[in-house]
Amino acid sequence: MKGRKLLMIPGPIEFEPEVLQAMGMATTSHVAPDFIEVFGNSLELMREVWKSPMGQPFIVAGTGTLAMDMAISNLIEHGDRVLIISSGYFGKRFEDISKRYGANTTILEAPLGEVVSLDSIEKELKTNQYKALTITHVDTSTGILVNPKPIADLAKKYNTLSVLDGVCSVAGEEINQDEWGIDVVLTGSQKAIGVPPGLALLIASQKAMEVWENRKTPVCNYYADWNNWLPIMNAYEERRPSYFGTPAVNLIVALESSLKIICKEGMDKRVKRHRGLAMAFRTAIASLNLKLLPKTNEIAANTLTAVYYPKGIDGTALLSKIANDNVIVAGGLLAEIKTSYFRIGHMGSVSSNDLISVLAVLERALLDLGHQMIAGKSLQTFQNELLKPD
């Protein structure tokens, strides 16, 4: 027996052995020449993953929430208007962060299982002048996928900054930051980037940097202030030592290792892999007479799947049986329906074999709890979907 469970939650994920090996190296000085090279190379590789050759990358010890905080605190001043486009829990978090810095916020909330319409977004942008709008690319709480490109187009049309929460999408979903004109794209290390938790990662456009440089008031967050971090990023990219706060040395070594793996696979191929596995997995889940939270396949994320518990099945018992069979999935997160659904992550280094294991364990648990279904149906469906020609 391998003595460990298969981790299939929406982050942290299963990590590549090379990444864990890099993480376990002897810690070096943060100003040692070899680490400076690693840090500088990581910044450059981020531009390739984000598809943002013109952007300014930041690597800071923290979480995805810190990356959200950095974006808002550096771009928003007291009294600025911010439009929050929400499809779940993390849109509301953007609202909380924006209010903390004195922003006047308007939140457009999608009905459960849906996305906010472009018409309603444009109507709001026509009515009021906004400094920035926020988009949750994939909301981890609902598994809803939002297409950011047309929203970014609207932001440009109405001279509004666009901030994309890519915590559950960067390196898993399609993102072309520079081509789409998105001003900030942010994430955390523990999702599709494939590094243990602890790094806040973002890239800011030249426009975003200009807006920040022209602020009338100081940034109201000392740790997140780009005034402190930009000289550090510039120094490391120029392969010079610098210091503001001690970087997470081992995590950044692991980050470089993972970014190299991602770039070797190639972003287009990686996005296609995520999409193909997710489509097959959703089809397999549906074959078990289970209902997905997203109302259409087009707005279902390719990095995780949110599934309602079947009627008459105790969710706690289902998750317990799955865990006892050495697979870990996540319960619900959205407060209003938390006990009604569960979530399965499938991002980063995920393989078809991982998802076959999940389906097999899920089938056994459902059958044991009396759910009406055909044994083996999801496995057959999954395999058939994968065998379909592109």
C-alpha to C-alpha distance for 235 and 229, rounded to whole angstroms = 10
Cis peptide before 12 (omega within 30 of 0): yes
What's the distance, Cα to Cα, between the start and end of the chain in Å? 37
Pairing state between β 132-136 and 327-328: unpaired
d(CA 346, CA 8): 7
Of 47, 58, 32, 36, give the one whose Cα is nearest residue 236.
Answer: 36
Tokens of 70: 């950095």
Domain layout of the chain by residue ranges: 6-11+266-387, 17-265
**Domain 6-11+266-387: homologous superfamily in CATH:** Aspartate Aminotransferase, domain 1 (3.90.1150.10)
Query: 0.95 exceeded by the pTM?
Result: yes
Rounded to 5 degrees, φ, ψ at 109 are -100, 130
Positive or negative, the CA dihedral 87, 90, 95, 98 is: negative
Mean of per-residue pLDDT scores for the chain: 97
Q: What is the pLDDT of residues 239-250, one digit of tens each?
A: 999 999 999 999
Listed residue (208, 187, 189) closest to 198, CA to CA = 189
DSSP H/E element including 134? strand 132-136
**DSSP bridge partners of 84:** 107, 134
CATH of 17-265, one of 3.40.50.2300, 3.40.640.10, 3.20.20.10, 1.10.3720.10: 3.40.640.10
Under 8 Å between Cβ of 140 and 10:
yes
Q: Write down the pLDDT at residue 1.
A: 42
Give the number of other Cβ atoms within 10 Å of residue 149's Cβ.
14
The pLDDT value recorded for residue 354 is 97
What pLDDT is stored for residue 295 in this prediction?
98
Spatial neighbors of 30 by CB under 8 A, at least 6 apart, are: 243, 246, 247, 249
Residue 202 β-bridge partners: 58, 186
> DSSP letter string over 23-70?
HTSPP--TTSHHHHHHHHHHHHHHHHHHT-TTSEEEEEES-HHHHHHH
Decide if 243 contacts 232 (C-beta within 8 A): yes
CB 10 within 8 A of CB 142: no
Report how far apart, in Å, the C-alpha atoms of 325 and of each of 20, 230, 314 are: 25, 47, 17
The answer for residues whose C-beta is within 8 angstroms of residue 300's C-beta and 6 or more apart is 143, 144, 145, 278, 282, 292, 294
The residues of the chain scoring below 70 in pLDDT are 1-2
Rounded to whole angstroms, the maximal C-alpha distance in the chain is 64
pLDDT value of residue 2: 60
